[in-house]
Structure 1
Amino acid sequence: MSAKSQLELLVTNFQKKRPLRAGSLIITIYGDAIVPRGGNVWLGSLMKLVEPMGISQRLVRTSVYRLVQESWLQTEKVGRCSYYSLTGPGLRRFEQAFQHVYSLSTTEWSGSWCLVFLNQLSPELKQKVREELKWLSFGSMAPGVMEHPRFTRNELLPLLQEWGALEDTIVMQTVPMTQKSPKALRLQVRESWNLDELGGRYRRFLSQFRPIWRELQNEDTLTPEECLTLRILLIHEYRKILLRDPLLPDELLPGDWEGRSAKQLCRNLYRQIYQRAEHWLDANLENASGPLPGPNEKFYKRFGGLKGGPGQDTAPDRHPEPALP
């Protein structure tokens, strides 16, 4: 099956998902393509961008309306045209969701845990905060107690303030442990997070995107628009898994952890197709001032460095890494 046929299959499988969460896909698009270019885009450009994925203009309008109501997006009217950008809270939530997507490695774990006690909250607020923490990949240590190995107390306090839960939530930062991988701790990790389910998500990601990576090594004739569609689906599916992944240290993970292979595959595919996708974005995205500016310098630091940034080689990065087995 050719790479083009593999891409058609990816699009078809995406369209079959129910419910079709177009709003989540739009957030992926903002994080991957629009924020690096200033963060503001014409609604018509957004509609054109998602059309190859089978998302109708009506669904785009409904989705951005909901994202505005949920304080993710804000709108600006110029004449009869609408332009959308992330709100302040939306940008903070975006940065938390995307901070690990494009990095190749995580900082070494100190052995400290962030513990959050929710028992003093009202039932409604407790449920809300619990869902927000799960969205940030916190695990459930015990009823009313959640934990994370990398989030810090100082990072969490502003979010609790934003959720209206700061005064009635107890947040503790444990002292770093010198022994980071005792048997009891590994067992606790398995109780707090469903690593089997998370590993299954990574395996499904690999089975989705490995075939098209292999085909691209034999013949790569994808157009700029097709590269953009593939890039969006790639980052969207990968981001959804990372939302549930607390990025546990290696000493607490199985030796054959699928997340490592998923990261490498995502990096390889992205490096091969991103330049052609950028050509499409250059030609088609607009804001109120005209075409969107090119991607910022931070964009070119993704996945350890992309070609085409300031002072870098602009030749296509067609085969950055050997094919995955």
Structure 2
Amino acid sequence: MPIDDFDLAIAPLKDLGGQRVWSLMISLFGDLARQEGQIIGGPVLSAIMSAMDVRPEAARVALHRLRKDKWIASEKHGRISHHSLTPEGRAQSQAASGRIYATPDDLPEHWLMVVTDDAETGPLEKAGFTTLMPRLYVGDASLPVPKDAATLPGQAVPDWMKRQLEPASLAESYAQLSDALHHVARDLAGADTLTPLQIATLRCLIVHNWRRLALKHPALPRPLIRDDWAGLVAHQRVAALLAAYPRPDLPEIATA
């Protein structure tokens, strides 16, 4: 696809907020080089960053930060730098990948309600539950439940309850992401075949914008989600685009 047309097509994703360069790189490595032994060469990394309008100096600062934080390791072979996730960075990327790449069809179908005698929300939310009201939580029926908690099996869910479970602070951001993904899918629908570099760039922007919202709250079982909730619509569009543009092999990007 011509570069100018591609730039216009992905512009809605680039225009969304929260595009910190170091975070973009985490999304990029998590998508393209999450497995042990996978390496992104300096020229490939520079080309993808440039396609996302990241200045070379900003990319260098982000790499320095990620190396300092032990997310990324870099080695130089001749004049070419090779970058990869450290074992720690790889472990954290793998831990988040289940949530990031799960499709709406993968969402749990069975849920339960948990009642505790402790108003502290931290432990239950860390375990994957969502607070409905003080001391009352809902979540995947397969999640571990505290020994002293009471549980009730999930049944029919009223609309008011589904709305109450939606993260209100992310409502606008999910709506913006959903709209951006709609425009990207529409503009790419009639396009010529994308190059491996363009696909890598597109996937990074999709994964990054989805990751920075989805990881801010626990995943809800499907029966607890409204069909027209912007978060679910965004999830459906993320899954559709990632399926339509499969992850390219790193050698393909390097030789494109």
Corresponding position of 2:251: 282
Partners of 1:204 and 1:113 lie apart in 2 by: 33
- For residues 29-40 of structure 1, the aligned pairs below 5 Å read 29-36=28-35, 38-40=37-39
Deviations 1:151-207 (A, max 9, x none): 956xxxxxxxxxxxxxxxxx9464542245677x938x83xx653333432221121
Deviations 1:47-100 (A, max 9, x none): 232121121232222112212332322344556654333233322321232212
Partners of 1:111 and 1:201 lie apart in 2 by: 28
- Cα 1:3–1:269 change in 2 (3 A) is farther
Partners of 1:73 and 1:11 lie apart in 2 by: 28
Corresponding position of 2:213: 241
Assess if the C-alpha contact under 8 Å between 1:227 and 1:273 holds in 2.
yes
Corresponding position of 2:96: 97
Corresponding position of 1:73: 72
Assess if the C-alpha contact under 8 Å between 1:114 and 1:172 holds in 2.
no
Partners of 2:152 and 2:210 lie apart in 1 by: 31
Partners of 2:3 and 2:39 lie apart in 1 by: 32
- Cα 1:246–1:45 change in 2 (3 A) is same
Assess if the C-alpha contact under 8 Å between 2:21 and 2:62 holds in 1.
yes
Other structure's SS at 2:99 match:
coil
Partners of 1:50 and 1:180 lie apart in 2 by: 47
Over the aligned positions, Cα root-mean-square deviation in angstroms equals 4.1
- For residues 168-207 of structure 1, the aligned pairs below 5 Å read 172=146, 174=149, 176-179=151-154, 186=161, 190=164, 195-207=167-179
Assess if the C-alpha contact under 8 Å between 1:30 and 1:39 holds in 2.
no
Corresponding position of 1:25: 24
Structure 1 stretches lacking a partner, 5+ long: 120-129, 154-170, 286-290, 292-325
Assess if the C-alpha contact under 8 Å between 1:7 and 1:230 holds in 2.
no
Q: Which residue of the other structure, out of 141, 149, 160, is the alignment partner of 2:139? A: 149
Offset at residue 36 of structure 1 (A)? 4.6
Other structure's SS at 1:254 match:
coil
Partners of 1:42 and 1:216 lie apart in 2 by: 27
Deviations 1:87-132 (A, max 9, x none): 33322321232212222212334426698x898xxxxxxxxxx7xx
- For residues 109-124 of structure 1, the aligned pairs below 5 Å read 109-111=110-112
- Cα 1:69–1:78 change in 2 (3 A) is same
For 2:68, give the aligned amino acid. Answer: Q
- Cα 1:175–1:91 change in 2 (3 A) is farther
Corresponding position of 2:62: 63
Partners of 1:227 and 1:240 lie apart in 2 by: 20
Offset at residue 142 of structure 1 (A)? 8.5
Offset at residue 230 of structure 1 (A)? 1.8
Deviations 1:217-251 (A, max 9, x none): 33435444333322221221122221124221233
Other structure's SS at 2:233 match:
helix
**Percent of matched pairs sharing the same residue:** 23
Asked whether 1:107 is paired with 2:108, we answer: yes
Partners of 2:45 and 2:119 lie apart in 1 by: 39
- Cα 1:112–1:44 change in 2 (3 A) is farther
Deviations 1:261-315 (A, max 9, x none): 22332232223333xx626x42444xxxxx9xxxxxxxxxxxxxxxxxxxxxxxx
Assess if the C-alpha contact under 8 Å between 1:41 and 1:83 holds in 2.
yes
Partners of 1:36 and 1:88 lie apart in 2 by: 10
Assess if the C-alpha contact under 8 Å between 2:9 and 2:187 holds in 1.
no
- Cα 1:137–1:172 change in 2 (3 A) is closer
Other structure's SS at 2:101 match:
coil
Offset at residue 141 of structure 1 (A)? 7.5
Deviations 1:22-45 (A, max 9, x none): 111111111111125833333443
Partners of 2:64 and 2:133 lie apart in 1 by: 37
Partners of 1:200 and 1:225 lie apart in 2 by: 31
Partners of 1:109 and 1:206 lie apart in 2 by: 26
For 1:268, give the aligned amino acid. Answer: A
Assess if the C-alpha contact under 8 Å between 2:110 and 2:154 holds in 1.
no
Corresponding position of 1:307: none
Q: Which has the higher contact order (CA 8 A, sep 6+)?
A: 2
- Cα 1:268–1:37 change in 2 (3 A) is farther
Partners of 1:47 and 1:148 lie apart in 2 by: 44
